[in-house]
Structure 1
Amino acid sequence: MKTVQNEGKTIAEVVSIPNFRYGDKNIVLREESADEKGWRDSGLGKAATSNFRLEMQFRDKSVKYFSLLTEHGSDYAESEAVYVIHEFLAEQKLERVKWRIEKGPYHITSGLIPMKKKKAGLFNRTADSIMSINWRQRIHNFFYLDDADLE
């Protein structure tokens, strides 16, 4: 298997995002610029609501920082980051990485395991918001038989 590591360099030194970004229109991963690094290290970066610092720790314990941009807040960034990071790791052919957003909990993602983003359709979202648990149970009982029904 091809690894990203070159002689004498850590994975963090070798890995980079060239002229493009990862993600979609709702969330974007890109390398942290020198200005952003200074802005965050000065303590002013904590007020940002759309630019989150993403820390990645690679297999060789080297660390690199990225910027995760989204207009949908920190909860959205936390839930959707795994798909963007997976896309990045798959492109770089990395086995796995330990990551976290803004000093939050650590997560582990692998670039070798295929992953598809779950896209809930309009019907599914509407049905989930309208239907109560009672109605879901009634529909389940209507369409599915239990073993007791067959006796």
Structure 2
Amino acid sequence: MDTSTFYALFSATCFTLTGLWWTVVERHPHWLRDDGTRRQVASVYLAFLLPALMGLFAQIGGPDTPMFWRVSFVVIAVFGAVSTVRFLRNSRRDRDAGVFARHWWGSAVVYAAVAVLGAAPGLARGIGVTPLQAEATLLVLLVALAHALVWEFLTHHRPEPAA
């Protein structure tokens, strides 16, 4: 599969997951009342939205205009890493956060790798792949981590608030 087709499918899939997450959250308005839970909800939202945006910018820039996708990947990845670190800092204080939420640092590391590859795409060629292929691999990893976060969030016991 060429990278253009991959990024088209990837981006559409991530935007669909973002929309599905909105639907899930809409059915649980009590999640937004508690600061810790609201942070987890927002973290899941960003975990799908940011890779979707990167996929979209990869399609716009593509191999013909690498500076466009590279700059957008760096900016979005830095935002993702900073957001993740803020979430981690807050979730460590949240006694109800699950193990994975407290150790969500893995996504910050992947975001950092996305930013580094965007800034220095020659690193990808050193391992025998194009920069867009290396970035695609990292974005797949981000979405896999996001799925793990969703699983933990949805299976972690959170009592419904008293009516």
TM-score by length of 1: 0.25
Structure with the greater alpha carbon radius of gyration:
1
RCO comparison, higher one (Cα < 8 Å, 6+) = 2
TM-score by length of 2: 0.24
Give the strand-richer structure, 1 or 2. Answer: 1
